[in-house]
Amino acid sequence: MATPWGGDLVVICIFLAIAAPLTTAIGVNYGTKGDNLPPPATVAGFLANRTIIDRVKLFDNNPDIVRAFAGTGISVMVTAANGDIPSLASKEGATAWVAANVAPYYPATEISLVAVGNEIMDTADQNLIGNLVPAMRTLKAALVAAGYRRIRVSTPSSLGILVDSQPPSATRFRDGWDVAVFAPMLQFLRRTSSPLVVNAYPYFGYNGDTLPYALARPNPGVRDAGTGITYTSMFQAQLDSVYSAMKKLGFEDVEILVGETGWPTKAMDGQVGVSPAEAAEYIRYLISEVGSGSGTPLMPKRTFETYIFALFNEDLKPGPVAERNFGMFQPDFTPMYDVGIMKKDTVNTTAPAHDSNAAAAPPESASSAAASAPAPTQDRSSGGATSPAPSDDESTHETLEEAEGGEAPSSPKSEPANDNSSEAAAKGGDNDKGNSEKTNPEEGGATQPPSGAASKATTFIFHVSWVLAVALPLVMHV
């Protein structure tokens, strides 16, 4: 006869096994370089009502799109344009940006993070690179001063920021950038509990021989002589390369967020490994990997907030054929493949919208896909230019210290003092949508939430009830 503790353990294991998929949090990049894309409100309703996607990343701060996600329970990462960076480095510029681009929408729209530019290091623009970290500091201080301390600040980078990316243990940040840019950036990210955002694409690093490695199929693996680890997944190796570079600067504890990763369904004629089948295989692996909580060989049991590239095929994107075919959906919401992100109880593929007449969104303000490894169709690596060490903005440092743990100034539009924030959900994979930061639909002209916001909570309650229904008889039996 089993002991009472044995029975409890059985129930706990069953509960965890069933409930684990519910904690899987996956995001998507919502690009708008297309002339046939649905209105933002329709997109928001579709994601909330028909999919399990609970976060989106935008390449700009388009007000129609940001407003469309109000009350949906979907957190939003917005992007400040590359050209805004010099002005964001000043207190006045950062304060004005927050007043125009955050205050009208938050907390009705759950803005979880502001990305300062996109792949700035790849631009080789010394003015942008030199102002990047000061802009991040000053913007964070402005957010805190406005009462929005839980909104994180970071900047996405391609893997072009790294050198010696094979093997992972040998990887480091590019010379010059390591001390001048990434050491102060990582110090800022550590102090503000914000992630380093990287865009990691096995697609841009594979060839015909390494396709199984890129797709994490069974393969002999690639051995890292420095650690003795054999990698069978290029995605894991890429993340561990980032970790190794961070560790060499003493910042291995900083969270890593995957801002972009994906696989196209179509490329140049004759290119091996590109079809809806391979795209589905990679995205299915990615969702499983992110949701498992197993981490990587160098970062065991660590979770990674991850955003799939991309939501739609975008017919106006320049470049190779693949660039226009990374989407998980056609513009009419027809799935390109099945990877389990559609809700099981949905029948229709078109969602009710906040406002079916909402205007279409403008194009992204920055390029959207990159990695350091040689690409099958294009080169996404950076130029390797160095930059001067960014200067500290003394006018923002005191407020930033408040962001790091002190009391923020009061604000009439400050966020509620609820630790179960959208940021916490984004960082920890918590699928709880019940925080109070999205309960003011009138703020910023926000509309009422679509039914998906409630249905996510209902689905969770249903699954918990089902788990209890299974678990209780087992307890009685044991």
Q: Which residues are catalytic?
A: 119, 260
Closest CA to 324 of 268, 389, 372: 268
Distance CA 245, CA 163 (A): 9
Distance CA 4, CA 289 (A): 34
- Look-up of token digits 């096995």: 202
Phi-psi region of 265 (alpha: psi -120 to 50; beta: other; left: phi over 0): alpha
> What Rg do the C-alpha atoms of the chain give, in angstroms?
22
Q: Is 328 exposed, middle or buried (0-12, 13-18, 19+ CB in 10 A)?
A: buried
Q: Phi and psi dihedrals of 124, rounded to 5? A: 60, 20
Q: Report whether 312 contacts 331 (CB < 8 A).
A: yes
- Cβ atoms of 80 and 116 within 8 Å: the answer is yes
Given a contact cutoff of 8 angstroms between Cβ atoms, the answer to whether 104 and 84 are in contact is no
- Single-letter amino acid, residue 365: S
Please state, in angstroms and rounded to a whole number, the distance separating the CA atoms of residues 216 and 212: 6
